[in-house]
C-alpha cells in the first residue's frame, strides 16, 4: 500500500493500498470517522456539523501525502498563507460534498453490510499471498500506514456506499446522440478578448491605515494568531535495525541449520531433450531410419519437423525436471545421454525424441549457501529478539508508569527527549499516525491536565515500535498584538486594496456597458491590452469561467465583464469575438467514446451541483472558526 513510511512508499504493494485510501479520502472524506471533540462547528450541512478539527485532520492527511509524494519538496510552499488558505477551502468543499453524498445515499436506502465490507477487503490483491487472503499481510499493511482495522473497515464501508451511489446515478445516458456535435463544438470553442488589470499590490502600497483598524482586525481574527497546544515528549524507540547490530550468528548455527534443511538446497535431476514432430507414423519411421544411418538430429529437425518453434532451434526443447516433464517425454523412457526414442504417438502427431544430456540430483555444499543462511538466521534471531523485547518493554511501561526510567533499564535503550511541538510540527522521528493519535486524541492528555503515565507499546510496523510519555504541556494561546502587528498591517492593506479594486472595477464596468468607459479608463491609467485567444483549457480558471459564461455577441458589439485572476487582481474583460472549430467524422467517433467513458463522472458532478443547490448550508458566524 512495508516497514517504514519513507522506505515503503517505493514498494508497489504500499502504493496500491495508499492509492485506495487516498482515493477513498478524496471521494468520501473522513468526517464521520473523526473523534468528536467538542468545539464550535464551521458549517452545518442540512443540520449536520463539520467541526474545525475535521478540516484540520483532513488537511494534515493531504499535506502529509503531498509531502511524501514530492519528498518534502513543497515545505516552502506550505508556509505560504495563500496556499494554506486555498487548501483549507478545498478540504472544506470536499467535506461538504461528502456529507451531501452520504445523506443522498441514505435517502435512497443504500446501506452496506459487514459481510460486504469483509468480502471487499478479502478480495483485494495486495492482501493476498498465492492468490489467497492472508490476514497477517492485511494487518501488517494496515498498521504500517497508521490505521486500525476498525478505522480501515469504516473507510471501505464509505467507499462501497459511494460506489453504489455512483452506479445508481450514473447508469442512465447522460448525452443524447444528436447532442454530441453541439458539445464538441462548445468544447472546441475559443474566444478573443482584451483584458485590463487592476493590480492589487500597486494599490496595497498606497493604502493608509490607523492603529484602531489594526486592533479591530486583531480582535476580529484572533484564530489566525493562535499558538496551538504544545507538548514535550520523552520516548524510547524499539527498532529492529538497532537490535540487528547486536545479534550474533556463529558458524555452528549455520551448519546446524544446513544439516537439518539439506533438502532445501538440493537440485533435482534434470534432463535435456530435443524432438522432431511429424504428421504421420510413416514419416516418423523414415526420420528414425535416417538417424540410424548417421544423419544429424538437428539437421533433420530443421528440415522435417512440423513444429515451427522447435524447428528453428534444431529440435531443442531444453531442461526438464520430473515435475515439468510432459507425458510424451516420459513415455520415451530415455535413460542415457544421446539415446533416441522409437516413434511416440502424441495428440499433435508423431514424435522422435533424443535425450541430449542429464544433470543428476545434487546438494549444494555449505560454502555455496553459507551467506544466504547466515542472513536468514540473523533475521530470524533479530525478529525473535524484537518481539521478546516488545513484550518486556510493554510490561515494564505498565508496571512502573511514573517515568520511563524502569523501561530504559529493561530495554537497554536511553529515552529521547523532544523540545516543544504541536500537532502542526510533529518531529520527524515521531511523525507516525498511531503516535500522533496517542498524543493528541486525549489518550495521554486529559482536557486540562496530563495523565502522568506511560503509553503502552505503540506499534508502527513489523520492525518499529515506541513507548512515549508526555512530560509537559502548554495550552493553546494567542500571540500578542505586538508580535503579529507587521503581519496585520500587511493583511489590512491587502484587504483594503482588494475592496478598492473591486469597487473601481464595478464602476468602470458600469461605464463601459453604457459606452462611457474610455475616458474613465484613461483617468484610472488603465487600458485594454492586446487581443488574446482564450480556450476552455487556458490556465486561469476564474477568468476562463467568466469569459465562457458570457453570451453570444449581438451585431458584433463587444461584451464587458469583470473577474479576478490567479493573483486576485481585478480584471476587466472585453469580449471581441467567438469562434468554434469542428471535428472530422473520425474524430467525432473518438470524442463520443471519450464522452461515454466519462459520463459517470459527469453525472456525479451534476448530482453534486444539484445537491449543493438544494442543501441548507449554514456557516457559523463565530469569528474564531474562520478558515
All structural domains of the chain with their residue ranges: 5-174+616-625, 189-225+481-580, 229-251+368-475, 269-360
pTM above 0.75, yes or no: no
Confidence of residue 174 (pLDDT cuts 50, 70, 90): very low
Evaluate whether 25 touches 58 at the Cβ level (below 8 Å): yes
Least confident window among 110-114, 168-172, 330-334, 351-355: 168-172
Of 315, 320, 319, nearest to 287 by C-alpha is 315
Q: Which CATH class is domain 269-360?
A: alpha beta
Least confident window among 278-282, 496-500, 519-523, 609-613: 609-613
Least confident window among 110-119, 275-284, 381-390, 467-476: 110-119
Top-confidence residue, 401 or 12: 401
pLDDT at 529: 93
CA pair distance 550, 512, nearest whole angstrom = 15
Burial of 597 (0-12, 13-18, 19+ CB in 10 A): exposed
pLDDT at 92: 82
Instruction: Kindly tell me if the per-residue pLDDT of 34 is higher than 70.
Output: no
Rounded to an integer, the average pLDDT of 84-105 is 78
Confidence of residue 499 (pLDDT cuts 50, 70, 90): very high
pLDDT in tens, 337-349: 999 999 988 877 8
- Separation of first and last alpha carbons in the chain: 32
Top-confidence residue, 185 or 557: 557
Instruction: Kindly tell me if the per-residue pLDDT of 75 is higher than 60.
Output: no
Instruction: Kindly tell me if the per-residue pLDDT of 438 is higher than 90.
Output: no
Residues 6+ apart with CB under 8 A from 214: 481, 485, 488, 489, 492
Mean pLDDT of the chain: 78
Rounded to an integer, the average pLDDT of 311-335 is 84
pLDDT at 166: 64
Least confident window among 263-267, 303-307, 313-317, 464-468: 263-267
Helix (H, G, I), strand (E, B) or coil at 129: strand
Q: Which residues pair with 363 in a beta bridge?
A: 266
Residues 6+ apart with CB under 8 A from 178: none
The rounded percent of the chain whose pLDDT value lies above 90 is 28
Ranked by mean pLDDT, which of 67-71, 383-387, 616-620 comes out on top?
A: 383-387
**Angle 133-138-144 (CA atoms, 0-180°, nearest 5)?**
160
pLDDT at 28: 36
pLDDT at 408: 92
pLDDT at 209: 93
pLDDT at 596: 57
Rounded to an integer, the average pLDDT of 166-170 is 60
pLDDT at 77: 39
Rounded to an integer, the average pLDDT of 389-402 is 89
Count Cβ atoms below 10 Å from residue 113 Cβ, excluding itself: 10
Rounded to an integer, the average pLDDT of 113-125 is 84
pLDDT in tens, 151-166: 678 778 777 877 777 6
How distant, in Å, are the alpha carbons of 55, 57, 264, 366, 384 from that of 373? 51, 46, 11, 9, 16
How distant, in Å, are the alpha carbons of 235, 247, 398, 442 from that of 403? 10, 28, 10, 19
pLDDT at 368: 84
pLDDT at 353: 92
Instruction: Kindly tell me if the per-residue pLDDT of 10 is higher than 60.
Output: no
Rounded to an integer, the average pLDDT of 341-366 is 87
Instruction: Kindly tell me if the per-residue pLDDT of 284 is higher than 80.
Output: yes
* H or E element, residue 471: strand 464-474
pLDDT at 542: 82
Instruction: Kindly tell me if the per-residue pLDDT of 355 is higher than 80.
Output: yes
pLDDT at 504: 94
Instruction: Kindly tell me if the per-residue pLDDT of 199 is higher than 90.
Output: yes
Handedness of CA 363, 364, 366, 370 (dihedral sign): negative
According to CATH, the topology of domain 5-174+616-625 is: Triger factor/SurA peptide-binding fold (1.10.4030)
Top-confidence residue, 592 or 197: 197
pLDDT in tens, 213-259: 999 999 998 888 888 888 999 999 999 988 888 899 999 999 998 88
Confidence of residue 510 (pLDDT cuts 50, 70, 90): very high
pLDDT at 44: 86
Instruction: Kindly tell me if the per-residue pLDDT of 474 is higher than 60.
Output: yes
Instruction: Kindly tell me if the per-residue pLDDT of 412 is higher than 60.
Output: yes
Helix (H, G, I), strand (E, B) or coil at 422: strand
Rounded to an integer, the average pLDDT of 496-510 is 94
Confidence of residue 11 (pLDDT cuts 50, 70, 90): very low
Confidence of residue 587 (pLDDT cuts 50, 70, 90): low
Helix (H, G, I), strand (E, B) or coil at 609: helix
Count Cβ atoms below 10 Å from residue 149 Cβ, excluding itself: 13
Rounded to an integer, the average pLDDT of 436-465 is 74
Amino acid at each position: 500500500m512495508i516497514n517504514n513510511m519513507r522506505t515503503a512508499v517505493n514498494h508497489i504493494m504500499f502504493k496500491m493500498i495508499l492509492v485506495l485510501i487516498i482515493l477513498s479520502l478524496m471521494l468520501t472524506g473522513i468526517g464521520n470517522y473523526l473523534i468528536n471533540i467538542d468545539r464550535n462547528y464551521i458549517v452545518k450541512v442540512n443540520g449536520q456539523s463539520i467541526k474545525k478539527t475535521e478540516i484540520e485532520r483532513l488537511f494534515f492527511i493531504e499535506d502529509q501525502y503531498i509531502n511524501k509524494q514530492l519528498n518534502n519538496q513543497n515545505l516552502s510552499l506550505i508556509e505560504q498563507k495563500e496556499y494554506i488558505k486555498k487548501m483549507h477551502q478545498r478540504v472544506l468543499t470536499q467535506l461538504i460534498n461528502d456529507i451531501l453524498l452520504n445523506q443522498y445515499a441514505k435517502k435512497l436506502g443504500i446501506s452496506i453490510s459487514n459481510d460486504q465490507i469483509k468480502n471487499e477487503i478479502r478480495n483485494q490483491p495486495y492482501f493476498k499471498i498465492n492468490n489467497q487472503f492472508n490476514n497477517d499481510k492485511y494487518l501488517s499493511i494496515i498498521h504500517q500506514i497508521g490505521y486500525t482495522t476498525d478505522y480501515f473497515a469504516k473507510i471501505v464501508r464509505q467507499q462501497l456506499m459511494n460506489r453504489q451511489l455512483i452506479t445508481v446515478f450514473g447508469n442512465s445516458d447522460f448525452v443524447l446522440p444528436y447532442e454530441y456535435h453541439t458539445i464538441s463544438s462548445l468544447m472546441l470553442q475559443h474566444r478573443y478578448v482584451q483584458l485590463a488589470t487592476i493590480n492589487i499590490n500597486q494599490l496595497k502600497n498606497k493604502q493608509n491605515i490607523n492603529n484602531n483598524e489594526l486592533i479591530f482586525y486583531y480582535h476580529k481574527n484572533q484564530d489566525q494568531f493562535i499558538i496551538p497546544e504544545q507538548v514535550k515528549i520523552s520516548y524510547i524507540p524499539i527498532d529492529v535495525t538497532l537490535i540487528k547490530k547486536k545479534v550474533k550468528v556463529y558458524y555452528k548455527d549455520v551448519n546446524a541449520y544446513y544439516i537439518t534443511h539439506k533438502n532445501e538446497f538440493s537440485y533435482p535431476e534434470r534432463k535435456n531433450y530435443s524432438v522432431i514432430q511429424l504428421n504421420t507414423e510413416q514419416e516418423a519411421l523414415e526420420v528414425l531410419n535416417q538417424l540410424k544411418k548417421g544423419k544429424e538430429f538437428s539437421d533433420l529437425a530443421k528440415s522435417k519437423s512440423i513444429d515451427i518453434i522447435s524447428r528453428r532451434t534444431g529440435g531443442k526443447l531444453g531442461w526438464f525436471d520430473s515435475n515439468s516433464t510432459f507425458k510424451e517425454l516420459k513415455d520415451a523412457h530415455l535413460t542415457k545421454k544421446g539415446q533416441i526414442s522409437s516413434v511416440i504417438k502424441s495428440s499433435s502427431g508423431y514424435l522422435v525424441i533424443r535425450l541430449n544430456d542429464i544433470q543428476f540430483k545434487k546438494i549444494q555444499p555449505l560454502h555455496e549457501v553459507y551467506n544466504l543462511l547466515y542472513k536468514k538466521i540473523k533475521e530470524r534471531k533479530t525478529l525473535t529478539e524484537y518481539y521478546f523485547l516488545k513484550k518486556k518493554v510493554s510490561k515494564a511501561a505498565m508496571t512502573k508508569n511514573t517515568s520511563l526510567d524502569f523501561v530504559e533499564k529493561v530495554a537497554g535503550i536511553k529515552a529521547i527527549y523532544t523540545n516543544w511541538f504541536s500537532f502542526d510540527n510533529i518531529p520527524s522521528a515521531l511523525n507516525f499516525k498511531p503516535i500522533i493519535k496517542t498524543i493528541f486524541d486525549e489518550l495521554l492528555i486529559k482536557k486540562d491536565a496530563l495523565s502522568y503515565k506511560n503509553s503502552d507499546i505503540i506499534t508502527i510496523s513489523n520492525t518499529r515500535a515506541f513507548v512515549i510519555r508526555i512530560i509537559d504541556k502548554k495550552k493553546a494561546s494567542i500571540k500578542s498584538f505586538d508580535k503579529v502587528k507587521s503581519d496585520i498591517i500587511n493583511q489590512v492593506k491587502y484587504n483594503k486594496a482588494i475592496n478598492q479594486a473591486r469597487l473601481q472595477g464595478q464602476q468602470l464596468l458600469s461605464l463601459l456597458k453604457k459606452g462611457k468607459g474610455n475616458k474613465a479608463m484613461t483617468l484610472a491609467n488603465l487600458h485594454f491590452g492586446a487581443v488574446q485567444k482564450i480556450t476552455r483549457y487556458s490556465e486561469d480558471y476564474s477568468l476562463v469561467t467568466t469569459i465562457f459564461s458570457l453570451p453570444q455577441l449581438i451585431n458584433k458589439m463587444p461584451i464587458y465583464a469583470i473577474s479576478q485572476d490567479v493573483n486576485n487582481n481585478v480584471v476587466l474583460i472585453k469580449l471581441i469575438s467567438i469562434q468554434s472549430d469542428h471535428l472530422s467524422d473520425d474524430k467525432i467517433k473518438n470524442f463520443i467514446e471519450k464522452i461515454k467513458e466519462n459520463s459517470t463522472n459527469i453525472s456525479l458532478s451534476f448530482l453534486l451541483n444539484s445537491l449543493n443547490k438544494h442543501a441548507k448550508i449554514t456557516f457559523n458566524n463565530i469569528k474564531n472558526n474562520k478558515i
